[in-house]
Chain A
Amino acid sequence: MLWLCLYLPRLPAEALGLRDAREVVVAQRGASRWLSCDSGRLAAGTPLATALSLNAELRALPRRPKAEQAMLLALAHGLYRYGSPVHAELRELDEVGALPQALIWLEIGASLRLFGGWPTLRAQVQALLAEQQHEAQLAVAPTRAAAALLASRGEPAYLPTQEALLAALASLPVSSLYWPHSEIEVLHSLGLRRLAQLFALPRAAFARRFGPERLRQLDQLRGLAAEPAQALLPPTQFRRRFELLGETAQVEGLLFALRRLCLELQAWLRARDTGLLALRLSCEHAQRRRSLQLLRLASAHRDGERLFTLLRERLMREPLPAPVRALELRSLELAEPVAIAHDLFDTQAQAQQNFQATLERVAARLGESAVWQPALQADHRPDRACQGERAGAVNAGDLPPRPLWLLARPLPLPGTPQLEPDFERIESGWWDGADQRRDYHSAEWQNARVWVYRPRDGEDARWYLQGLWG
């Protein structure tokens, strides 16, 4: 196992979205309040009273652990593409002046070669962090505990082997352990300053003195004990919101955000190893109003660019009803994507995929009802025989010849057409209230060959035009 650990020292500030240097995040326990992360020249952990005496203009904002947790999880899901399993933890120490530890672990041993080694992977992870405006300290070690310890110390470390890990751990001070202050004091008073000294102590005696929990933690650091934890899985549905910096009334202004959402959706689909069949895009306007766009794909896939093109066509179709403040993309239906075999000699499957994508685009622009496929239904009534839902089992070969054009609504003719002698009698539908009893003839009408009928019952003796032999 090789764990990459990310330690996020500024998560409390990032979760609140602080931009101003005069705003600080403050944790509270009882009456004492202290800074949760560095702010300018003030170090994290400084009591608020001290900070205010140094800078009277500070505005203190309380921590929001829920927002921190949500942000941590979102980032962990984003990192899912670089390795698995992924763990995330927000550690709190119930002590005055203690800082929260926001940590994400990724097992990268299996995927390191795929990404071309540690320097390349680090560059990719850092690019992702920069894009999402997170500040993080990275460390790589064979155990999760050691990786977290090294990351929180802020020294870039890459320790791929057990020997390198032991050598690095030996020289670390005991104060770097995330233990309560009182216990560190006890260790110091015993003359134990370095981790190497702790490791050298008799195990049974150490466990009696400090408790079996502390011994286990030391073992976990060195990889002598298991580190059980629940791995994170991406959520079962995708739902991401993008807040625009300002209101925009032009579709062009939305495209950047839309593309980013689509690419996030693509990453999520890849992580879940599934494909998308339907999605919902909602544009949020002022006063909590929103306009929705539902999109259904002809076949499931996970191509972000293709989704983006479709949504763009859809948005371009008509002007925005009001200026947009935020976009939200949600997956509605998922399905296994149709796997394309990349056969060197068989280009037909790929061509069909391409054609399907184009059809989707046409449907996005003209409306979903404008693009359809003829289908059959086992019904003798001519106007119902073509209303099937892609039923492939019905065969029209048994029917007498039918005209290629059908009129949506039969047209009464002002006279009698020149009928051909053969006719077909269709009587059907008495069970569902749409009873039809008709005699169908082919006929000549105004220089065209038509398909006409006359109702058999009732006093209506007119001829109706229902089809054209196109």
Chain B
Amino acid sequence: MDSRAEKLQQLLRDARLWRGDRQAPLRAWPTGYGALDALLPGGGWPCGNLSEIVYAQCGVGELRLATPLLARLTQQQRPVALIAPPYLPYAPALQQQGLNLQHTHIIDAAQEPDALWAAEELLRAGAGAVLLWQERLDLHTQRRLQLAAEQGDGVLLAYRRGQQSAHGTAALSLRIARVAQRAQVEVLKCRGARPAQPCLLAS
């Protein structure tokens, strides 16, 4: 054993050194898309956390991305809420996607503070997942929502229309776009791993 390898081992044992591959395992709900799960550190949507979905426009498959999660939660009788959706969530389609409509709630909040307040309250009350459509959340709001999600152990998906991630504290940030008539998901940021190549969703 030469001394350089020994020194390296010594350095690695130093408590001040933080190594990214030895973090605590993330708890996550599978997204329902195997190719996407493989890219994400916990294997899905992180529990008790804020995740961000960036989409260029409606109709690119942005809600489809979340329906397997919603179906799984509502089948387990955990309530889910859609807050301030841009269009009418269509009940027959939701049922076709496997959601239990009895545990699906929709909240039309015209005012931004109302939407944020409702999201926070419902997360604290133990909603399994809250989908929130808001253009921009400031840092303070993100922290509040993050804490609420932690407290209720729910998944918060913040939908944001645009190209770039804007929610700094999100544990996961995905961008969904329609490329060659298929939905393509790109991981912009994920806590605990390095973003990998974009993947195509099976439609």
**How far is B176's CA from A448's CA once the two chains are assembled, in angstroms?**
12
Q: Which of A376, A399, A468: most chain B Cβ within 10 A?
A: A468
Do A373 and B102 touch (CB < 8 A)? yes
Name the segment of A71-79, A206-214, A220-228, A360-368 touching the other chain.
A360-368
1/0 per position for A134-161, CB-CB distance to B under 8 A?
Answer: 0000000000000000000000000000
Select which of A362, A375, A449 is within 8 A of B60 by beta carbon. Answer: A449
Q: Which residues of A contact B59 (CB under 8 A)?
A: 405, 445, 448-450, 468-470
Number of interface residues, chain A, beta carbon within 8 A = 49
Q: A373-B102, A404-B90, A406-B90 are in contact. Are A396 and B122 (CB under 8 A)?
A: no
Contacting pair B126 A354 (CB below 8 A): yes
A182 adjacent to chain B (CB < 8 Å): no
Give the residues from 77 to 127 in chain B that come closer than 8 angstroms, CB to CB, to chain A: 77, 79, 85-97, 101-102, 104-109, 114, 117-118, 121-122, 124-127
Residues of A within 8 A of B92 (CB): 376, 382, 385-386, 396, 399, 402
B88 pairs with A405, CB closer than 8 A? yes
A205 CB within 8 Å of chain B: no
Residue in chain B with minimal CB distance to A369: B108
Contacts A372-B106, A374-B106, A470-B63 given; does A407 touch B101 at CB 8 Å: no
Residues from 34 to 90 in B contacting A, C-beta threshold 8 Å: 56-64, 67, 77, 79, 85-90
> In the complex where A359-B105, A361-B121, A370-B109 touch, is A449 in contact with B56 (Cβ < 8 A)?
no
B161 in the interface (beta carbon within 8 A)? no
* B57 contacts A446, C-beta separation under 8 Å: yes
Interface residues in A388-437 (C-beta closer than 8 Å to B): 388, 390, 392, 395-397, 399, 401-408
| A50 surroundings in chain B (CB, below 8 A) | none
Q: In the bound complex, what is the Cα–Cα distance between A372 and B91 (angstroms)?
A: 12
Of A351, A361, A468, the contact of B58 (CB 8 Å cutoff) = A468
* Closest B residue by C-beta to A362: B118
Chain A residue numbers with a CB within 8 Å of B79 are 352, 355
Q: Is the CB of B95 within 8 A of A376?
A: yes
- Say yes or no: is A132 at the interface (Cβ < 8 Å to chain B): no
Q: Please report the C-alpha to C-alpha distance between residue A351 and residue B108 in the assembled complex, in whole angstroms.
A: 23
How big is the B interface, by class? Answer: 35 or more
Contact A362-B88, Cβ < 8 Å, known A396-B96, A402-B96, A447-B60 = no
Chain B residues closer than 8 Å to A250, beta-carbon distance: none
B114 with A373: CB separation less than 8 A: no
- Given B77, B91, B109, B114, which contacts A374 in the complex, CB threshold below 8 Å? B91
Whether the pair B58, A470 counts as a contact (CB closer than 8 A) is yes
Measured in the bound complex, the distance between the Cα atoms of B88 and A374 in whole Å is: 9
Residues of chain B within 8 A of A361, CB atoms compared: 121
Cβ-defined contact, B126 with A373, below 8 A: no
Q: How many angstroms between the C-alpha atoms of A408 and B108 in the bound complex? A: 14
Q: Does B178 make an interface contact (CB < 8 A)?
A: yes
Is there contact, CB below 8 Å, between B106 and A449? no
Listed residue (B57, B60, B95, B117) with the most chain A CB atoms within 10 angstroms of its CB: B95
CB distance from A352 to the nearest CB of B (A): 7
Q: Does chain B have a CB within 8 A of A12?
A: no
Question: Chain A residues with Cβ under 8 A from B106's Cβ?
Answer: 371-374
Q: With an 8 A cutoff between CB atoms, is A444 at the interface?
A: yes
In the bound assembly, the distance between CA atoms of A366 and B91 in angstroms comes to 22
Contact partner, A468, options B77, B87, B101, B108, Cβ 8 Å? B87
Q: Does any Cβ of B come within 8 Å of A348's Cβ?
A: yes
Taking a contact as CB atoms under 8 Å apart, the answer to whether B121 and A404 are in contact is no
Which residues of the partner chain A approach B64 to less than 8 Å between Cβ atoms? 404, 469-470
B181 located at the interface, meaning its Cβ lies under 8 Å from any Cβ of chain A in the complex = yes
**In the assembled complex, how far is the CB of residue B100 from the closest CB belonging to chain A, in whole angstroms?**
10
Which of chain B's residues have a CB closer than 8 A to the CB of A291?
none
With A358-B122, A373-B105, A376-B101 known as contacts, the answer to whether A447 contacts B91 (CB < 8 A) is: no
A467 within 8 Å of B by Cβ?
yes
A406 in contact with B127 given A448-B57, A468-B58, A469-B64 (CB within 8 Å)? no
| Residue A357 is within 8 A (CB to CB) of chain B in the complex | yes
Q: How far is the CB of B80 from chain A (nearest CB, A)?
A: 10
Q: Is the CB of B105 within 8 A of A405?
A: no
| Residue numbers in B under 8 Å from A448 (CB-CB) | 57-60, 178
A408 and B125 contacting across the interface, CB-CB below 8 Å? no
Report B-chain residues with C-beta under 8 Å of the C-beta of A397: 95-96
Q: A374: which B residues are within 8 A, CB to CB?
A: 89-91, 94, 101, 104, 106
Q: A406-B87, A449-B178, A468-B58 are in contact. Are A401 and B105 (CB under 8 A)?
A: no
Measured CB to CB, the closest approach of chain A to B118, in angstroms, equals 5
Whether B63 pairs with A405 at a CB distance below 8 angstroms is yes
Given A366-B109, A469-B64, A404 and B89 contact (CB-CB distance below 8 Å): yes
- Given contacts A358-B125, A362-B122, whether A403 and B93 have CB atoms under 8 Å apart is yes
CB distance from B193 to the nearest CB of A (A): 28
Cα distance A381–B24 when bound, in Å? 51
Q: Mark B17-40, 1 if CB is under 8 A from A, else 0.
A: 000000000000000000000000
Q: Is the CB of B181 within 8 A of A444?
A: yes
- Bound-complex Cα distance A450 to B102 (A): 27
**Which residues of chain A come closer than 8 Å to B108, judged between CB atoms?**
366, 369-372
A-B contact pairs, 9 of them (CB 8 A): A362-B107, A362-B121, A373-B105, A374-B90, A385-B91, A402-B90, A405-B88, A407-B88, A449-B60
Q: A residues within 8 Å of B by Cβ?
A: 348, 351-352, 354-355, 357-359, 361-362, 365-366, 369-376, 382, 385-386, 388, 390, 392, 395-397, 399, 401-408, 444-450, 467-470
Chain B residues near A (Cβ < 8 Å): 56-64, 67, 77, 79, 85-97, 101-102, 104-109, 114, 117-118, 121-122, 124-127, 178, 181
Known A358-B121, A447-B56; 5 more pairs at CB < 8 Å = A355-B122, A366-B114, A371-B108, A406-B89, A467-B90
4 A-B pairs with the lowest CB-CB distances in the bound complex, closest first: A448-B59, A468-B59, A470-B63, A374-B91
